Amino acid sequence: MTGLPPAPRGPADPLEQIRHTILADPQHAVAYLNAHAGTLPWPAAVTHTLLAEAHLLDGNPERALGHAVHAASLPGTALAQALPACAVLADLNCWTGQDDAAEVCSMYRDLAGDADDPARLVCAQALHAVAVFQHQACLRGRAALDDLVRAAPAGSAVLVMLRHAQTAMADSCRTGTDPAGPSAWTPVPGGYLCPAGQPQPDYLTSRLGRHHATHICRDERPGPHTAPREVPR
């Protein structure tokens, strides 16, 4: 695949090369993907999903969201490409603070469940909890995340990520302030830059810290929430 630097540890498949390029130089990756869009060895949904991730890392969330919407709406996309497209779309809705972020996360959650993809399912459920915490009701978001913490395998990277978010949500409600989160970008688990089962510890807190919480904790009890599907261990 000419025009791209080799991935670490020698030659790699084209998708691995573009992943490496996005992480190392997102601007170069965007230019390459645009210049070779008609000749890349994968479906258009993959190209648009990669462009979405590259634009977000490069600080262009509006362009990223446009590519993610396009990737997720292309007709005839195979499930293997639809899942990362929906992961990136749900993430970008949370990153940019869209009012319907919880609904988009629900669609991703349903797709991951129907695909019997437990790693993406738990990440989708966690991202939905973040969207609910921000846009609907803090207590319902916390209740949903607490369920996920109880169900997550001990010692897993997923559990570490969930506990970080659990603490951030609890601190936010205790102080009545917006949740604190890292400012550094972190890739969405289940896209093309991070495996769903190996999320970075601060992924959820990086999304929590971008927008205001909807605090009802001082005068209401949590409403009903949908318990997560059981994740195979």
pLDDT digits (tens, 9 = 90+) for 59-100: 999 999 999 999 999 999 999 999 999 999 999 999 999 999
Average pLDDT rounded to a whole number, residues 197-215: 93
Average pLDDT, the chain: 89
In this predicted structure, what is the pLDDT of residue 3? 61
Average pLDDT rounded to a whole number, residues 31-36: 95
In this predicted structure, what is the pLDDT of residue 224? 47
Task: Indicate the pTM of the whole model.
Answer: 0.88
Residue with tokens 């639809």: 82
Lowest mean pLDDT among 2-16, 66-80, 110-124, 132-146: 2-16
Q: What is the DSSP letter of 192?
A: S
Q: What is d(CA 127, CA 150) in angstroms, rounded to the nearest whole number?
A: 16
Instruction: Check pLDDT > 50 for residue 172.
Output: yes
Delimit the domains of the chain by residue range. Answer: 1-77, 79-233
What six digits make up the tokens of 152?
Answer: 């997550």
